[in-house]
Amino acid sequence: MLFMKGSPKEPRCGFSRQMVEILQKHGVAFSSFDIFSDEEVRQGLKAFSNWPTYPQLYVKGELIGGLDIVKELEASGELDTICPKGQKLEERLKSLINKAPVMLFMKGNKQMAKCGFSKQILEIMNDSGVDYETFDILEDEEVRQGLKSFSNWPTYPQLYVKGELVGGLDIVKELKETGELLPVLKGEN
């Protein structure tokens, strides 16, 4: 857990930004807490940890230290042994693709599409009556870029059935027009 000023997407100080960059460079899986969001936590953690500054990195509930300590651990090579690694991107993508029998990677989610193509595919999916899950690619740049390469499909939305790429909006429209969409969504093809 990284207690920092701001968030990994928007660090609000240079030290927090450097810490995030180091952790991301090493593929460390971490969550964060914005100390500006809770003054009681901000002050209490200083006393609890006996560490007066931020950012503060904790692994398994134990304080590792601040930026200087993390830089020393990085230089000595110890950072990689201390910090838990995130899943490799390919493993993560396979896991997401197989999260549900029918998975739609799109801009937005079932409740609200954030582009016209995603809106159109949602309408088609909802009309099909088949259960499906969505993943908002705007929330995760690593998945957004990685899935393009992984699937060899450059655009979104992307529809997967039982872990296999069906295609994007044009393919789904074509399948609907030919009457093949429902069997495909049910995994019968």
Task: State the residue range of the domain holding 73.
Answer: 2-82
CATH of the domain at 8: 3.40.30.10
Per-residue pLDDT tens for 17-59? Answer: 999 999 988 888 788 999 999 999 999 999 999 999 999 999 9
Whether 95 and 66 share a structural domain:
no
- Provide the 3-class DSSP secondary structure of residue 56: strand
Q: Is the pTM of this model over 0.75?
A: no
Whether 94 and 176 share a structural domain:
yes
Closest-CA residue to 125 (of 51, 176, 54): 176
Taking 70 as the threshold, does the pLDDT of residue 69 lie above it? yes
Beta-strand runs (E) in 43-95: 56-59, 62-65
